[in-house]
């Protein structure tokens, strides 16, 4: 029997799943790494540590599975979008991987938004005007670190670098190239006008290939270490956003895919490029006839993690004594207060925000707090705030795509009954949750099967997704959420100038970073 490894290079860890050709999972592995945030707006990772994590994850799933009856025939990749690494002529990194969460290019994104050049970039490439984009990271490096730019021979993202480490082939598939802000979304080629803006030559960028493109073989020493054949196919795969959407079966226009993991996103596939007049949504080509339109959100489950650690330290100790999951305990506490948290709102902008605000200066806040509110109200408001923020992004998306027929939701947030109910109630719509939580790895596996000639249509991935569960909204909760949604949206818009002021204060007095490693 033959096997495929689907692997996802995430922001905080790399996950690997080993599948047989029928889609059965034999083993899983998860390897974490450090996100460096030692100065304001910084978010970097070590690309070589990330490479080691992919090796360790693949080695673990192969060892766990004890493959005596076959071999791994392909490794297929999902990865975070918008990362940037400078390489010298010998392919040695001159920088860490500057991730999507790095906001140090905020000044240049703001300048391009004000002078209109940012809209030109958006209309050419589908990249919103935000420092997450490698285009804006390149402007920042060009202006503030010219010594790095002068030494740089190649510009790549983390997936391209890791695949090069395995294969000595420097290539980039369509979806990842689109997320750089350097690819013309209509011609599906590097955009010469945009490249001139950042003084990047075509020769400094990887070769463009399809997401099903396969590279033959990896370096023998790596194959031996991981326990797989050296002639394994390395399939390019796609971005985590594209594969998460494919992996829940949201393949048709009119189907909305929402993922709430560490971060979050709202996405829908279109059959042609679609540009939002207000540049609130990205539009990236994925493959022929498939464009992904949506909004990426910084503040998903990571916000609940913050509430867990910052507000409920004592409950974590109690959970240990009771042999309970401390996150489950928090959701039980949140269930003790009604929908709307007695008028307490939480804007979840702990790490700036991409969609719906596109404001790297955005900061989190509780609003409406009074003496009657308890920590139970606060934790429920945190959960509701995450969903209100998703709902704002969905409003922008549906204005250009139309109302959704189906809403498919994946990610850790909806594993809890309360998370699911809040989603259904705020959206006032039935939500569907597929069995497969690791939708990115599943879709990567499926692209490998397409590459190997074992599948011919994306639509057939639904046979691997498993059962779906549907959850209905509770009409009794509509009145509170209908009153709160416009207040939440209005407040986020009114705070724009104050976001800039408090963010600049934090940059001027960065004591919060002094103790971070």
- Helix (H, G, I), strand (E, B), or coil: what is residue 75? strand
Residue 191 lies in a domain: yes
Residue 415 lies in a domain: no
Residue 6 lies in a domain: yes
Name the domain count of the chain: 2
Residue 229 lies in a domain: yes
Query: Vertex 142, ends 137 and 148: CA angle to 5°?
Result: 95
Domain C-terminal end among 201, 226, 243: 243
Cβ(42)–Cβ(95) under 8 Å?
Answer: no
Query: Vertex 210, ends 208 and 213: CA angle to 5°?
Result: 105
Residues 28 and 154 in one domain: yes
What integer pLDDT is reported at residue 93 of this predicted model?
98
Q: Which of 242, 251, 293, 258 is nearest to 412 (CA)?
A: 258
Residues 306 and 391 in one domain: yes
Residues 327 and 224 in one domain: no
Domain that holds residue 360: 301-407+483-503
Residue 119 lies in a domain: yes
Domain C-terminal end among 203, 218, 243: 243
Residue 446 lies in a domain: no
How many other CB atoms are found less than 10 A from the CB of residue 125? 26
Residues 185 and 328 in one domain: no
- For the chain of 517 residues, list the mean pLDDT of each consecutive stretch of 10: 96 95 96 94 97 98 92 97 98 98 95 98 98 98 98 98 98 98 97 98 98 98 98 98 95 93 93 92 95 95 94 86 90 97 97 93 97 97 98 94 93 92 98 87 98 96 90 97 98 92 90 59
| CATH number (domain holding residue 348) | 3.30.420.40
Residue 474 lies in a domain: no
Residues 325 and 393 in one domain: yes
- Distance between CA atoms of 498 and 352, rounded to whole angstroms? 13
Chain-centre distance for alpha carbon 164: 22
What integer pLDDT is reported at residue 516 of this predicted model?
47
Residues 312 and 221 in one domain: no
Residues 216 and 348 in one domain: no
Max Cα-Cα span within the chain? 66
Residues 120 and 202 in one domain: yes
Residues 127 and 228 in one domain: yes
Cβ(340)–Cβ(384) under 8 Å?
Answer: yes
DSSP 202: G
Residue 129 lies in a domain: yes
Domain C-terminal end among 202, 217, 243: 243
Residues 239 and 386 in one domain: no
Q: What's this model's pTM, rounded to 2 decimal places?
A: 0.93
Residues 234 and 356 in one domain: no
Tokens of 83: 């990362």
- Distance between CA atoms of 317 and 260, rounded to whole angstroms? 27
- Distance between CA atoms of 141 and 349, rounded to whole angstroms? 26
Alpha helices in 8-157, H assignment, sequence order: 47-65, 106-115, 117-125, 134-144, 146-151
What integer pLDDT is reported at residue 316 of this predicted model?
84
Residues 228 and 316 in one domain: no
Cβ(159)–Cβ(211) under 8 Å?
Answer: no
Burial code of 165-176, b = ≥16 C-beta within 10 A, e = fewer? bbbebbbbbbbb
For residue 219, the cross-strand partners are none
């Amino acid at each position: 029997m033959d096997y495929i490894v689907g692997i996802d290079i995430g922001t905080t860890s790399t996950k690997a799943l080993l599948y047989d050709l029928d889609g059965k999972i034999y083993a899983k592995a998860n390897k974490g790494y450090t996100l460096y945030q030692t100065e304001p707006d910084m978010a970097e990772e070590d690309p070589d540590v990330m490479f080691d994590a992919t090796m360790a994850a693949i080695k673990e799933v192969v060892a766990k599975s004890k493959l005596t009856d076959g071999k791994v025939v392909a490794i297929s990749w999902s990865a975070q979008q918008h990362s940037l690494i400078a390489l010298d002529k010998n392919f040695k990194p001159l920088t860490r991987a500057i991730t999507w969460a790095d906001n140090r290019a905020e000044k240049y994104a703001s300048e391009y938004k004000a002078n209109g050049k940012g809209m030109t970039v958006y209309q050419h490439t589908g990249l919103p005007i935000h420092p997450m984009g490698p285009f804006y990271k390149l402007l920042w490096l060009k202006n503030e670190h010219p010594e790095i730019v002068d030494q740089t021979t190649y510009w790549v993202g983390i997936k391209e670098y890791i695949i090069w480490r395995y294969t000595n082939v420097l290539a980039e598939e369509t979806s990842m190239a689109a997320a750089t802000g350097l690819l013309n979304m209509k011609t599906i080629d590097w955009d010469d006008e945009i490249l001139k803006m950042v003084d990047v030559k075509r020769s400094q960028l990887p070769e463009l290939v399809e997401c099903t493109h396969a590279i033959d073989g990896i370096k023998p020493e790596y194959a031996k270490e991981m326990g797989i054949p050296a002639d394994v196919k390395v399939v390019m795969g796609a971005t985590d956003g594209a594969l998460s959407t494919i992996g829940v079966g949201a393949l048709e226009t009119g189907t909305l895919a929402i993922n709430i993991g560490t971060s979050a996103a709202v996405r829908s596939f279109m059959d042609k490029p679609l540009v939002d007049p207000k540049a609130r949504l990205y539009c990236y080509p994925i493959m022929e006839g498939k464009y992904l339109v949506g909004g990426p959100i910084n503040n998903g489950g990571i916000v609940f993690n913050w509430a867990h650690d910052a507000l409920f330290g004592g409950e974590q100790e109690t959970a240990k004594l009771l042999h309970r999951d401390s996150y489950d305990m928090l959701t039980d506490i949140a269930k003790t207060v009604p929908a709307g948290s007695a008028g307490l709102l939480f804007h979840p902008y702990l790490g700036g925000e991409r969609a719906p605000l596109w404001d790297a200066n955005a900061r989190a806040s509780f609003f409406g707090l009074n003496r009657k509110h308890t920590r139970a109200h606060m934790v429920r408001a945190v959960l509701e705030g995450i969903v209100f923020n998703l709902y704002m992004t969905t409003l922008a998306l549906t204005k250009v795509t139309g109302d959704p027929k189906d809403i498919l939701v994946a990610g850790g947030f909806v594993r809890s009954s309360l998370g699911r109910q809040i989603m259904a109630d705020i959206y006032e719509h039935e939500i569907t949750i597929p069995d497969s939580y690791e939708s990115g790895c599943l879709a990567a596996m499926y692209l490998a099967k397409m590459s190997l000639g074992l599948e011919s249509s994306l639509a057939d991935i639904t046979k691997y997704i498993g059962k779906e569960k549907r959850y209905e909204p509770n009409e009794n909760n509509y009145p509170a959420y209908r009153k709160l949604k416009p207040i939440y949206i209005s407040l986020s818009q009114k705070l724009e100038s104050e976001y800039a002021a408090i963010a600049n204060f934090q940059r001027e007095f960065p004591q919060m970073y002094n103790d971070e490693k």
